[in-house]
Chain A
Amino acid sequence: MNWLQGRTVRFQLMAFGKQALAGAIKGDSVLGIVEVVDDLGAWIVVGSPAPGGPYPLFLLKWKSFSTAVVEVEEAEDAPKSRIGF
């Protein structure tokens, strides 16, 4: 499992990405959840797919965005394994 899967990601699109996703998004960026990551890019859910049936995943090719933001949780809450004798 890739660490991005199941995470909310904000991608800032390159001109190529904006053109490729012109029918699905507006603006310079896209918000989605990552379902699959492979050699082609990130397969993401965009918008609000209707429940109860198949739903589309959009392929965001690696070359189609310039940067992205992911929020990650603080690690300090996790319990630490004890060291003892």
Chain B
Amino acid sequence: MATQDFRVFVSGGTVTLDAWRQAMSAPESDLPPLSEAQKEAARFVRMGEPEYARGVLADELGSKRQQEKGRRLGEIIGEILDQSGKRWRLDSLVRKGVRFQWTARFEGAGSDREVEIPFDLANDVVEGGDPYSKSRLARLLAGKLELTAA
């Protein structure tokens, strides 16, 4: 498969309402331990350490879910590449929260290329709610990577 070794990097705000709810309802025993820097930050804003830790947990859950989303998106990209002659290999997916997009980096024979995938399209593809979303992604990749059907 053209994507077996790709990496996923996540940046920007990642906390969804689901992740937030999960962190808010977690028992105190499930909260992550705070580092000295985090304890100092909690004191800085006059916040109790358990409440601060809930925020840390929300960040961790949000980041983990985005990692999983990136992994699934990469697998779907791999399926598209496998049907198009395998000229390119997916090297990495970078979630750029501030720009509302994933950047997919590809390696080919002697060259690299990047394709920007808007969050809306990536979400549709991964969550499978839109039957045409994978086709839209395939068209985007075909245009940027000059793919042809195998």
Kindly state whether residue A23 has any CB partner on chain B within 8 Å: no
Among residues of A, the one whose C-beta sits closest to the C-beta of B10 is A73
Contact of A12 among B44, B58, B91, B98 (CB under 8 A): B44
> Which residues, 29 to 58 on A, are CB-close (under 8 Å) to B?
29, 31, 33-34, 45, 47-49, 51, 55
Kindly state whether residue B85 has any CB partner on chain A within 8 Å: no
Question: How many interface residues does A have (CB within 8 Å)?
Answer: 35
Question: How many interface residues does B have (CB within 8 Å)?
Answer: 41
State whether B7 touches A48 (Cβ < 8 A): no
**Interface of A (DSSP majority class):** loop
Q: Which residues of A contact B54 (CB under 8 A)?
A: 31
Q: Which residues of A contact B (CB under 8 A)?
A: 1-12, 27-29, 31, 33-34, 45, 47-49, 51, 55, 67-69, 71, 73, 75, 77-79, 81-82
A-B contact pairs, 5 of them (CB 8 A): A6-B14, A7-B59, A8-B59, A71-B55, A79-B7
